[in-house]
A and B are shown apart, each in its own frame.
Chain A
Amino acid sequence: MTDSNKEVIMIIAKLVIISIVASALLGITYVPTQKQVKINYELARQDALKEIMPLAVNFEAVEGGIINDEGDREIYYYRAFDASGNPVGYAFFRKQVGAQGMIEVAGGVDAKFETLTGMTVMSHSETPGLGAMIVTPDFKNKFVNIAIADLSLSSAGGKIDSITSATISSQAVVDALNAKIEEVKDAEG
């Protein structure tokens, strides 16, 4: 074997070794971090449910078909019960297109579909200082114990004041809640 051949083989061997070490490192990091991501996701959902329905202690998921290999099922919405087991309403998550990207909101409605018990934003990519204001307590408090009939922007005759220069984001939140409340109402008959 000539020297130049040897050199090429050395170079290739080094590249291969580095690639293998790199993939191994990534694999080692991937498993625990993915676990943590799943835990974070579940915790965030539990917190959100408690926040939007302070009266409820138990949430029973209404499930749909299987959505992934691990056998997780799609959750349509939750039936909420208080400490003595009486139904107090329904809680749900819904994704809606905002001004910049998807907004995921959580909402709760009472058992008679008359009052919204609360709203919170799970994730969004709206402009900081504008659309991103949908996560502020000021905005969220507007949705606490409000009649479903009044659940639209004040410009459209409702009782929700839009965030200044962020009508699209505010509208998306309102639309998401209204659309999902309709769906739950239909499902519950």
Chain B
Amino acid sequence: MADSMKVWSEFIRGITKDNPIFGLVLGLCPTLAVTTSVENGIGMAAGTAFVLIGSNVMVSALRKQIPASVRLPIFIIIIATFVSIVDMLMEAFTPPLYAALGVFIPLIVVNCIIIGRAEAYANKNNVFYSLIDALGESAGFLLVLMLIGGIREILGTGKIVVFGHHLLSVPIEPATVMIMPPGAFLTIAILMAIVNHRKARKLARGG
């Protein structure tokens, strides 16, 4: 069972220690820009997950063929291909989401999470573990986007609506600033401070 333990730890690492936002601090732009609602966060995370899984698997499968000297251009071509595919698929099949996410779909191509994982993980590990790594990182990204989106949506509009379902509403006066750009900076500042605080406490306890 040691093997399945390792798979699980590789997966969970993407959510905790190597979380794309709070651990590795990669991919800040989409994290702040599209999290005006939970729904947009889920859409963005889904698009990024598709690209991340695709590129991790491709890079890992081709890693013995890719010459080291031109590996970055090749990674970029692989990633850009997957991003273009996501872009076209979302335009065709989820038009409202595509309209809401706008320029940030094609910008997945410069999301440092993807090229970062290709370079740091997929280039050195086999296809199976690269897939697990991509799944873990995607899950971590999804959770963070939903958390930030949720905080901003509930404080900014007083309710959470996901794909037409009214999930919950709170009787507060909506603070519109939360869905405007300053709200994004404020939310991530507070969340990062909390994460730092917990990390420091953990360190102080010796582990």
Contact = CB atoms under 8 A, between A and B. Distances in A.
Contact present between A and B (CB < 8 A): yes
Interface of A: 7, 10-11, 14-15, 18-19, 22, 25-26, 29-30, 32-34, 36-37, 40, 44, 123, 125, 127-130, 165
Interface of B: 36-37, 40, 65-67, 69-70, 73-74, 77-78, 80-81, 84-85, 88-89, 91-93, 95, 99-100, 102, 156-157, 174, 176, 179-180
B92 A128 contact: no
B67 A14 contact: yes
Contact of B102 (A10, A34, A125, A127): A125
B36 A11 contact: no
Contacts of B99: 123, 125
A26 B85 contact: yes
Nearest to A7: B67
Given A11-B70, A25-B85, A123-B99, A37 B92 contact: yes
Contact of A11 (B67, B84, B88): B67
Given A25-B81, A129-B36, A15 B74 contact: yes
Closest 5 CB pairs of A and B: A36-B92, A33-B92, A33-B88, A22-B81, A128-B36
A18 B80 CA distance: 12
B85 A40 contact: no
Contacts of B180: 127, 130
Contacts of B89: 29, 33
Nearest to B93: A36
Given A10-B67, A14-B67, A29-B88, A128 B179 contact: yes
Nearest to B90: A33
A40 B95 contact: yes
A121 to B, nearest CB: 11
A129 B176 contact: yes
Contacts of A18: 74, 77-78
Given A40-B95, A128-B37, A165 B176 contact: yes
A15 B156 contact: no
Contact of B85 (A19, A29, A36, A130): A29
Given A22-B78, A33-B88, A33-B91, 16 more contacts: A11-B69, A14-B70, A22-B77, A26-B81, A29-B85, A29-B88, A29-B89, A36-B92, A37-B95, A125-B99, A127-B179, A128-B36, A128-B37, A128-B179, A129-B174, A130-B179
B70 A129 contact: no
A44 B77 CA distance: 34
B157 A26 contact: no
Contacts of B36: 128-129
A129 B65 contact: no
Nearest to B58: A18
Contacts of A30: 88
A137 to B, nearest CB: 13
Most buried by A among B65, B73, B176: B176
Contacts of A128: 36-37, 40, 100, 157, 179
